[in-house]
Every structure is written in C-alpha cells, then in structure tokens.
Structure 1
Amino acid sequence: MTTHIPSSPEGVRIRDLTEADIPAAQAVMMRSVTEDFGATYDPVVHADIDDITGWYVEPDGPFLLVAEDTITGAVIATCGIRGGALKEGLSPEHLVERYRNGRTGQLVRVYVLKEHRRRHIARALVQAVLDRARTEGHYDTIALHTYPHSPGALPFWQSLGCEVVEDDVNGTTRAIFFELPLTERTSL
C-alpha cells in the first residue's frame, strides 16, 4: 500500500518503508534511542529494530512509514504501528491484559532526527499512520507510551489529544501510557 500525504511538511515526503530503506530506518531508530534516551541496545526491547521485515512488513496489520528528505533522499524519521500486545514483565500487567484482544495497535518508533525537528514531521507521520490504520480497519484503539525524559514528547502527545491511561513514571517502566481512539478521524 502506498501512503500519500498531501500535507507533508515542505521538503519532506512521507511514504511506506521499502526494503532498501531498512538500514537507514534502523540507523534513525538506534540514533534516537542512544542520543535522545541515553539508552544502550537491548535485544529484547529493540527486537523490532533488528527485524523490521518480520515486525512491520510481513505481518498483516503492522507497517512502518518513513519521512524522506526530498533534496537528499535520506530517511530522516520513522513511525509505525504493530499489534498492541505489550511485553509481559516490561509493562503494567493490567495494560498487557487490556491490549491482548488483538484490536489495539501500538504506535511505535516515532523518531525524527534532531536536525530535522520542529518542522511538524512527527505530526504528519502520526496522522499518516492513523489514517492508514483507520482505512485498513485492523485496530479500534491506538496505544502508545513515552518517557518524561524524551525531548518534547509529553507536550507533543498531549497536543494530539492523547488520553493518559497509566502514569507509571515512578513505577517499573518509568513511562506514561496513552490511547487514541480510531472510531472517528483524529485531526492532528
């Protein structure tokens, strides 16, 4: 499926991930993980980055979009959706159960390289993912989580009308969990 976004930010084209994009998408994701979160590689947490094809290309439902700089052709941002089941032991148990039904999509890997931020790329990517998810009909609700130390993340998600379903900042995950309903067009 080709995703066309007429309202993409100037100089940016949002499109489906191609096989040729995988190394660049992985580089964007790992750079964001290490620079923005100060995290180190974890094969459990980052399994989807290691196997983008297995997580986002082959299954029915999940997908990954990229933002491409129209001048250089470089992949500068990513955003995807996958089945909403959370990893047991890494997420609050009641949310693991809540999302086990198969009708929740997990909005993931919303990363924009630092030098391309403040251009509304993340907003356009999220809108494109939500529009496609709505059209394809695999999910009723979109869930996501973020961390308070992620640059600009909390104000960004709140500006999109995301509803907090769990604030675990002082718990095991140190994350805040949000949901977005897909029953009507979410205007970002």
Structure 2
Amino acid sequence: MLKRESVDPDQLSRLVEAIAASQDRAAFAALFEQMGPRVKTYLMRSGTAPEVAEEIAQETMLVVWRKASYFDAARAGAATWIFTIARNLRIDWQRRNQRSEPMSPGAEEEADLSPTPEESVLASFREARVRAALGELSEEQATIVRLSFFAEKPHGEIARELGLPLGTVKSRVRLALARLRRILDEAP
C-alpha cells in the first residue's frame, strides 16, 4: 500500500499566494498535484460518486485558480480553504441535482422522514431541558406557555379560558418566553 506524503501547510499557502500574485502555472500544477487527489478522496468519503467527485475536484481547483487572491492565511490554512470550496461546490451540485430530478408519483410518501437516532436523542435532550426550564417559571407563566405552545391555542382563546385581558396574556407569553430563553441560555 502506498503511503502519501503529508502536505506542508506553509508550502500550500505559498503556492496559493504565488497563484494569487502572478498566476504562477508551476505553483498551480504543484498545488493541483498535491490537493486534487485529496479533494476527490474527501468528496468520495462524503458520499459523492467517483465520477462526480472527479468533476467537483477539478471545479474546486479551477475556483482556486480564479479566486486565489481571496485566500487569507490569517483566517485559515490553504488546505482548509480548498476543502471548504470543495464542500460548498458539492452542496451546490447536490441542490442542483435534487431540483432537476422529477419525483415519481407517491415518492413523497415513500421518503423516509423518520428522524435519525442522533436527531431523536438531541430532540429528547432539548425537550427535557425545556420541561425543566418550564418548572422554573411561575405557575401562571407556565400555564400560558403550555396553552399557547403545547395546546396551540390562540391568545384570544387563552384570554377567554383564563378570564384575563388579551393584553395580559400576550405580556405573560412574552415575559415567559424571555425568561425561558435566559434559563436555557444559562443551562450547561
């Protein structure tokens, strides 16, 4: 198995800066030789088909050639900058191709809309945090938040149900949400 040489970040920065300064073709060739295969591998590991990864990798290097003057070594390393360009081009490619593919009849119902395990865990964690924060509100604020957000009742209906003026309900909702935000922001 061949082991690739590691990339010298300073050398990559110098190559990009040479391209920016004088459109140095030799610097671009050296940069392309070092980064082209790495970008393609990165794209393939992110689930892109090999032929598409090749195309996006080439487009990435073309963007590097055209926009080398935008590179700022103080903000990020050259490799990070190049991989960010590749990632953005991959996202653009995916968006273009999702829009252009017509959906078959019934495909919308077939799409798996169930949350991933990670999303489920995060949602239950957020829910637990919100419920704990609700416990820190006064009873009148907690009641209004539950009616407004969990029961999805309009403010006017809440006002009639609780026998309160509409302005009072709106104020309590606003104050309760501000307090919830502070509580949640302070939570670890």
Q: Which has the higher strand share?
A: 1
- TM-score when normalising by structure 1: 0.26
- TM-score when normalising by structure 2: 0.26
Higher RCO (CA-CA < 8 Å; seq separation 6+)? 1
Greater CA radius of gyration, 1 or 2? 2
